[in-house]
Structure 1
Amino acid sequence: MIGTQLAPKGDTVPLSVHNARPDGARALAEILGRHGVTVHTPARFDAALDDLRSSSSTLLLYDRNGILGEPQVAALMAAADKVVVVSPRLETLAALDGGIRQAGVVPDGFPVLEPGCAQPDAEAAGQVTGQGGFVYDGGTSCYRAAGTAGMLAVSGDGRLAVLGSAAVLGNDKLDELGNAALAIRMLGASPDLVWYLPSLEDVAVSESGKTLDELAPGWARFLGPWLLLVAVAAVVWRGRRHGPLVFEPLPVVVKAVETAEGRARLYQDSRSIGQARDNLRAGLLVRLSGKLRLGPGATAEDTIAAAARLLGRDAAAIRTLIGERPATEARLVAWSQALDTLEKEVMTR
């Protein structure tokens, strides 16, 4: 059964057993519980070590931020009977010392991967989701998209398995292909599973990083007062008044014809023949539709057919005129004049 750590409080941590969102792993934890696996979810490194040492356990490690240092990863590896590491960083992979190396990502053209190896868990599970996964060299490589690198790599002694995709274990993809079968076979071999997701609380334990004070050079302590002095000087300089404010009456009224002429000049300067053509055609169809009382839902074809009936002309000729695509400015002017003539004919009827 699932341990008390699976209380019904939720979170949003990726691959957390308390997370019911698509990127969580609550569904997998519940399935493992039904198969008699007790899932422990320690929040700290020390608690994870205690859980591993108290019984024969499988460890799932998902250190997506690379928080743990080499000594901590080595300690977890030594305490667990079997270790499944999900999408490890290069530093974590090196600390595992399992002869497995990162070899890139799964190509976009391989959304589904075949086992392609003699590893029992992979053979039994069959196809799994490959989209967005990483591939690895070394050990027994399974789910290869191309070459020898695979999304699942298992060490020679079988104690270490590196899975390059969190999606295989997540709620969103768990019911697809053989994702659930692979997850259950890898994580359900022991009666106890330690599901460990290192957090910022483990930074002090790992001692793998330095503080900003340690990284900063010695002269940086004088930088703060100097920047403060420069800021005060800038405030004094820019804060001076340069004369009384000038008030302008608003709003400013701009005639419609001036706006139209201004836009026309912009189109002309930028040689935007296509944009000008589209605007002229759209404006004509809107005005004709209003004149012909076709309503707001009328299409261009409805407007052309109505205009043809009103004028007693062939609809194909009107369609050809309106659908023309002038390629030069001279032709654009001639075309716009033809549209204006057509509009006047409709308006006078």
Structure 2
Amino acid sequence: MTTKEHVGQEEITTTGFPAGRGFKAWFQKHLVWIALGALLAGLVIFLAIDSVAGATDSRRLSARNPAPDGGMAVAEILGRHGVSVTPTETFEDTLEALSNKDDATVFLFDAQGFLDRSQLEDITAAADRVVVVTPRLRTLNGLAEGIRPGGVVPEAIQVIEPGCGQDDALAAGRVSAQGSVFSGPVVCYAPRGSGPGLYAESADGRVIVLGSRELLDNQHVALEGNAALALRTLGNNADLVWYLPGIGDIPASNSSPTLNELAPRWLAFAGPWLGFVALLAIVWRGRRMGPLVFEPLPVVVKAAETAEGRARLYQDSRAVERAARNLRAGTLSRLARHFNLGADATTEAILDTTARHVKLPATEVRSVLIDFMPESEGQLVQWAQQIERIEQEAIAR
């Protein structure tokens, strides 16, 4: 037994550790083993949860799905009645399962139409019977060409009688399900008494189409004769392969074609030639710009170059009137600034001041600066020279 002594206000054990520190020291000493134990416990819990979750499947009509839209109930009942149920998820696993069994039935639910014709033909050849639920037209074409879609069951109809002489349908009696109807050599459960029905069978009896998931799912299988029809249809043989195709079953040949595959064959020969011709046209018609000149920014452009460039633009567009207005406005603005008339100076004030500083009469100054408007490029050049002389003479004085 550990004895305790009181020194002042602190409680000390005979081991030399203050009370409460012994556990801390022990914890630090065995920290590695504690961490390993916690890791091992977590691993065991994870494996247990994973094993439980792995036994179930959330996909519709899956033999491992206990949810209302699953098919576990039918699979379990078939197993209790001596039918060996083998769930498969890939096309290869399905063929392997069929290769080990004689006279096996395949339950096929390919809602997205992943399988192509060749795959469906391989399954049909390897199985004694194929029961397919709500197939697409592509699936029907690969299984039995004599069975075709025929519409849907009206919502007002809740219970459907067999209406045929097929043994399984007669033994099951009426069913309760909504879904699609199909036409074929043998048709049962026609909503209107005749025509397409929920149950369609090929002429040789090896392909059976069920038009509703409600005939097999956990939520509706107990209604009316749904369970009896499902069990008799799927339990015809001692072995049942429960196959739900996935996206991994899509053949590689079904991938989207490349641009080379889409292009016509002649493009392989004409394409390079057209590219060469286009290059020649670019060289022939392209504008010779000369080598690039690298200059540090900002670049200062001389006023004369700017004026020349703008004049060329005006010349190319034959904008004589616009060029004249710009020349007149620029001249008047410079004259007003030179005579300190201010930004709000009127045209008359600028004319009067300019006329007093040149030798020309005021009427001639007005005619040149205001009244005259050139109509051709030649007149524009002469007029520009006149207003330049007036401006230079006014500024010189």
Q: TM-score range by the shorter chain?
A: 0.5 to 0.7
Take 1:7 and 1:58, find their aligned partners in 2: how far apart are those partners?
A: 28
8 Å Cα contact 1:98/1:160 also seen in 2: no
Aligned to 1:162: 209
What SS does structure 2 have at the residue aligned with 1:112? coil
- Call closer, same or farther: CA 1:214–1:66 in 2, change over 3 Å: farther
Aligned to 1:64: 111
Take 1:107 and 1:129, find their aligned partners in 2: how far apart are those partners?
A: 12
Take 1:25 and 1:102, find their aligned partners in 2: how far apart are those partners?
A: 24
- Call closer, same or farther: CA 1:110–1:54 in 2, change over 3 Å: same
Equivalent in 113, 129, 149 of residue 160 of structure 2: 113
- Call closer, same or farther: CA 1:193–1:102 in 2, change over 3 Å: same
- Call closer, same or farther: CA 1:78–1:109 in 2, change over 3 Å: same
Equivalent in 237, 242, 256 of residue 195 of structure 1: 242
Take 2:135 and 2:98, find their aligned partners in 1: how far apart are those partners?
A: 20
Take 1:186 and 1:53, find their aligned partners in 2: how far apart are those partners?
A: 21
Equivalent in 112, 118, 122 of residue 75 of structure 1: 122
Q: How big is each residue's C-alpha offset from its partner over 1:296-323, in whole Å with a ceiling of 9 and x where there is no partner?
A: xxxxxxxxxxxxxxxxxxxxxxxxxxxx
Task: Give the deviation of 1:68 after TM superposition.
Answer: 0.3
Q: Quick check: 1:104 aligned with 2:175?
A: no
Aligned to 1:244: none
Aligned to 1:180: 227
Take 1:81 and 1:98, find their aligned partners in 2: how far apart are those partners?
A: 18
Take 1:83 and 1:32, find their aligned partners in 2: how far apart are those partners?
A: 16
8 Å Cα contact 2:113/2:136 also seen in 1: yes
Q: Quick check: 1:39 aligned with 2:85?
A: yes
Q: Quick check: 1:52 aligned with 2:137?
A: no
Question: CA RMSD for the aligned pairs?
Answer: 2.3
Take 2:70 and 2:260, find their aligned partners in 1: how far apart are those partners?
A: 36
Q: How big is each residue's C-alpha offset from its partner over 1:253-311, in whole Å with a ceiling of 9 and x where there is no partner?
A: xxxxxxxxxxxxxxxxxxxxxxxxxxxxxxxxxxxxxxxxxxxxxxxxxxxxxxxxxxx
TM-score normalised by structure 1 residue count? 0.57
What SS does structure 1 have at the residue aligned with 2:245? coil
8 Å Cα contact 2:152/2:181 also seen in 1: yes
TM-score normalised by structure 2 residue count? 0.50
Take 2:65 and 2:260, find their aligned partners in 1: how far apart are those partners?
A: 36
Aligned to 1:229: none
Identity of aligned residues (%): 45
Take 1:187 and 1:209, find their aligned partners in 2: how far apart are those partners?
A: 34
Aligned to 2:189: 143
Take 1:95 and 1:46, find their aligned partners in 2: how far apart are those partners?
A: 18
Unaligned 5+ residue runs, structure 1? 1-5, 219-349
Unaligned 5+ residue runs, structure 2? 1-51, 265-397
Pick the structure with greater CA Rg.
Answer: 2
Aligned length: 212
Structure of greater relative contact order (alpha carbons < 8 Å, 6+ residues apart):
1
What SS does structure 2 have at the residue aligned with 1:201? helix
Equivalent in 142, 158, 161 of residue 95 of structure 1: 142
Take 2:263 and 2:183, find their aligned partners in 1: how far apart are those partners?
A: 40
Equivalent in 64, 70, 83 of residue 18 of structure 1: 64
Q: How big is each residue's C-alpha offset from its partner over 1:60-88, in whole Å with a ceiling of 9 and x where there is no partner?
A: 11100000001001110111001101000
Amino acid paired to 2:224: L
